Every structure is written in C-alpha cells, then in structure tokens.
Amino acid sequence: MDCGAEYYRRYLDGDDSGLVDMIRDYTDGLMLYLMGITGSYSLAEEMTEETFFRIAVKKPRFSGKSAFKTWLYSIGRNAAVDYLRKHRSSLPLEETDLADEHSLENSYLREEQRIALHRAMNSLAPDYRQALHLSYFEGLSNAEIADIMRKSKRQIENILYRAKAALRSVLEKEGFEYEIV
C-alpha cells in the first residue's frame, strides 16, 4: 500500500492528520495536472480544493485496484471536467514564479524556456496536454494514465505519440532549441 492509501485509511479510521498528510503530499502535483486541464492557476487551485473536499466529505471508496495517485487524479479530473462543463469558458493562462536561481541570466533563460514550453503545451489539444503532463511531470505509467483519462492503454500510447510530435512541431516553430536524448 502506498503512502496516499495509508493516509486515506487513517483518515477514514478517524485520524484527521491522515487527510492533512495527504493534502501536503499530493497538492502540488494535482494542482499542476489540473492546471493543464483548466489552463488557469486559480481555477486549478480551486479544483484541487474541490478534490480534497470531495474526499473529506463524501469519503469515496478506494478499492486499491489502481495506485492511490491515479485514483486521486481521477477525482480531480472529474471535478475539473464537471466545472468546465457547467461554465463553458476559456480561461487565460496565469504564469507562476520559478524558484530562485544562482545566476540572474540562467534564471531568465530558464524562465523563457518554461514559458515557451507552457505556451506550447497550452496550444495542444486537451488530451495531448493531459497525457504529456501525467507522463512526464507526474511520472505515471501508460496504464495509470489510461485509468485517469478513461481511455485504453493503446489509445494513450497513440495520444502520447501524437502529442510529442505536435509539441515538437510547436516548439520548433517558436525556435525552441533542445537536445535530442
């Protein structure tokens, strides 16, 4: 059993610190994932709060058939999709600050690269954006991504392949330079 599942079990057993631990460990990653869906930092923050609210109040059953993170991100995705369906609005991207760097020049260059990557990611189709985020920023497997996005593993493989090609194309058009690994 992973830490998140243990936290949730503790919370269900009456230990409120389990929920506090869960929120502490999973908020940042969940919020970044939801920002990819919503396109807005403030809305992603609100949907993250909604996700933990649903867990705290409704206490949904975690069966253990998937990783806890997969289950949690699915709840977050559902909250964001529900919200977007109700409000049907396109939301602007809000930039976040980078951590302090040793060199002002390096900091500036890293920020410019991050902004270019952010813009490129936000220009992709929502499925592409979600799959790339879950794969590269969250380190989830294709099977876990398939569970979260409610698609087959084969569909996720195809989405990731097309998303990488689309991202590369957008970045090359913007003059982004990168090393091929």
Q: Provide the pLDDT confidence category of residue 151 given band limits of 50, 70 and 90.
A: very high
CATH number at residue 116: 1.10.10.10
Quote the tokens at residue 6: 């243990």
What's residue 46's pLDDT?
93
Q: Is residue 26 part of a domain?
A: yes
Instruction: With CA atoms as reference, report the closest residue to 133 among 45, 36, 27.
Output: 36
Same domain, 73 and 128: no
Q: Is residue 181 part of a domain?
A: no
Domain that holds residue 63: 3-87
Q: Give pLDDT tens digits for 95-124.
A: 333 333 344 455 555 666 777 777 888 888
What's residue 37's pLDDT?
85
Domain count of the chain? 2
CATH number at residue 41: 1.10.1740.10
